């Protein structure tokens, strides 16, 4: 039996492992694939304290090595369920069942994709799912944002401060956010493209242009260096829905203390309801969740 089992080896989960081990607890980290989560897709990280420029892979590897050196155990097995037995939690994977006093669910979320050919290939080479993470790489260039929700609007506004021109491309006749069109109109370098869809990404080694199909069926090539996809995210919480309250979008409902509806089960990172999903906030969640889990174990 472990003191704490952590589900997910992204920045939140691995930070939780570091904090839990430093508190003297036995820790098992379970991860479906490789360590690092979404951050390994980042070619460069320039907004994390103390790191002027580091790749996502390098950052994840350093954090993994830190947690492992402290004694955290890692097993790469997909978790398919958690059972609450009061003072014990049973965590079942595709390979085995493990027991712990507390569980931290740090499974993260994945960006919803457009489903266009070469989209995955061009991540880090022009295609991004995080304007605040990667926008600065496109300073003075033409970019596009795909999406008609509040995140897409916020991304377009943010990028308008950096890019030469920002195309906001969305399939609906209107933007979903009330007053968004008026806000966007204040920025002359934002071009609205309603009732349009992106049909292809055109690249050699990096993205060079995108093809957009208009409502009338005509197509247009837009010369852009960057495409920011903002069509929503998919949190990885469905296997734990019986124990964790989820909102209408599937995110875990939790306060800043990372508690869930089930005592002894905590949530950390991009799979919970929060205002800002960044590397630094994922690490902060991991620290908080581990600290709260240690407090909980004292009550058993």
List the catalytic residues.
130, 133-134
Number of alpha carbons in the 13 Å side-chain half-sphere of residue 144: 26
Sole residue written with tokens 């995955």: 120
Pairwise CA distance, residues 14 & 294, whole Å: 16
Token reading at 287: 């620290």
Closest residue by Cα to residue 75 from 56, 60, 96: 96
Residue 299 CB partners (closer than 8 Å, separation 6+): none
DSSP 182: H
Pairwise CA distance, residues 223 & 211, whole Å: 9
Number of alpha helices (DSSP H) and beta strands (DSSP E) in the chain: 6, 17
Judged by phi (left if over 0) then psi (alpha if -120 to 50, else beta), residue 84 lies in beta
């Amino acid at each position: 039996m472990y003191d704490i089992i952590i589900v997910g080896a992204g920045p939140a989960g691995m930070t939780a492992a570091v904090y839990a081990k430093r508190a003297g607890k036995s820790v098992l980290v379970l991860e479906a694939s490789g360590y690092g989560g979404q951050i390994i897709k980042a070619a460069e990280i320039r907004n994390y304290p103390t790191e002027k420029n580091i790749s996502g892979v390098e950052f994840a590897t350093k954090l993994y090595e830190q947690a492992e050196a402290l004694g955290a155990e890692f097993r790469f097995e997909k978790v398919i369920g958690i059972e609450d037995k009061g003072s014990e939690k049973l965590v079942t994977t595709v390979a085995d069942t493990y027991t712990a006093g507390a569980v931290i669910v740090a499974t993260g979320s994945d960006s919803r994709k457009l489903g266009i050919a070469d989209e995955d290939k061009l991540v880090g080479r022009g295609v991004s799912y995080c304007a605040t993470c990667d926008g600065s790489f496109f300073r003075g260039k033409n970019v596009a944002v795909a999406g008609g929700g509040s995140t897409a609007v916020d991304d377009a506004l943010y990028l308008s401060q950096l890019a030469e021109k920002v195309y906001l491309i969305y399939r609906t006749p209107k933007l979903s956010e009330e007053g968004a069109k008026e806000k966007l109109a204040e920025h002359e370098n934002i071009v609205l493209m309603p009732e349009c869809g992106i049909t292809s990404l055109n690249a050699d080694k990096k993205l060079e242009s995108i093809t957009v199909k208009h409502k009338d069926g005509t197509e247009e090539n837009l010369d852009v260096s960057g495409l920011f996809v903002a069509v929503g995210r998919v949190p990885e919480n469905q296997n734990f829905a019986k124990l964790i309250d989820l909102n209408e979008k599937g995110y875990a409902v939790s306060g800043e203390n990372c508690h869930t509806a089930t005592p002894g089960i905590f949530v950390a990172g991009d799979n919970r309801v929060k205002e800002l999903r960044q590397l630094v906030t994922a690490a902060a969640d991991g620290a908080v969740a581990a600290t709260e889990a240690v407090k909980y174990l004292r009550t058993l």
